[in-house]
């Protein structure tokens, strides 16, 4: 696939996801936009400057931490956009624009999943931080999207490698196995980091009246 076609495909993906975001959530407050922007920047920095690359394009990094964290603090759309924008831009700046297409989709899925579990299933913002089972709900909420990524990342990565990069099927299958293992390690580490940061940031942001206590 040509570079022009990849950029056009990425543009279509971005437009579709932003359209879905508008349908899901009609407006963002200034605080939400600011926090989402900060988390997108942190995702980018975590990937560009603090990653360990592996063979075949995979790498260990904690950029996904901020996708899940934003979803827990705000909602799934905000989390998805923070990770999708920050990490897709990181791919482009790292010289891998072909990865940006699947990255944008995958990070949005992480955010939407974490947000749905946190705020639709557990109603996390209405939970007393000292109540029984609160920590478990936070862990499950953060881990839901990140562990789902263990399956979606290699799956979409396989099709990207074959149909965008033109790799042989056997090579793509081998790289998919490597990506699955690396993604699992990333997901476990990012879940732990997101939980710790959420437990620290939620009360501070609520005291500063920068975080809503209910939907």
Domains and CATH numbers, the chain: 3-207 (1.10.1760.20)
Per-residue pLDDT at 9 exceeds 70? no
Q: How confident is the model at residue 23 (pLDDT cuts 50, 70, 90)?
A: low
Burial of 146 (0-12, 13-18, 19+ CB in 10 A): buried
pLDDT tens digits along 70-93: 999 999 989 999 999 999 989 888
Helices (H), 94-168: 97-115, 134-159
Specify the DSSP class assigned to residue 52.
E
pLDDT tens digits along 118-131: 999 999 988 888 88
Q: How confident is the model at residue 179 (pLDDT cuts 50, 70, 90)?
A: confident
- For the chain, what percentages of helix, strand and coil (3-state, to nearest 5) are there? 80, 0, 20
């Amino acid at each position: 696939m040509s570079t022009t076609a990849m950029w056009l495909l990425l543009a279509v993906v971005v437009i579709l996801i932003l359209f879905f975001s508008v349908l899901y959530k009609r407006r963002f407050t200034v605080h939400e936009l600011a926090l989402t922007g900060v988390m997108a920047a942190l995702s980018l920095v975590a990937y560009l400057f603090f990653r360990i690359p592996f063979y075949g394009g995979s790498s260990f990094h904690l950029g996904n931490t901020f996708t899940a964290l934003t979803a827990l603090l705000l909602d799934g759309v905000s989390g998805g956009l923070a990770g999708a924008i920050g990490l897709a831009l990181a791919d482009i700046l790292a010289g891998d624009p072909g990865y940006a297409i699947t990255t944008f989709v995958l990070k949005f899925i992480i955010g939407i999943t974490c947000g749905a579990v946190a705020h639709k299933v557990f109603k996390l913002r209405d939970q007393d931080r000292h109540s029984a089972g609160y920590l478990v709900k936070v862990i499950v909420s953060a881990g839901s999207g990140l562990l789902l990524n263990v399956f979606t990342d290699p799956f979409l990565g396989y099709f990207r490698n074959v149909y965008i990069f033109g790799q042989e099927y056997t090579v793509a299958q081998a790289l998919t196995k490597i990506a699955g293992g690396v993604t699992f390690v990333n997901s476990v580490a990012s879940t732990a980091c997101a939980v710790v940061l959420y437990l620290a940031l939620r009360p501070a942001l609520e005291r500063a009246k920068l975080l809503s206590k209910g939907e």
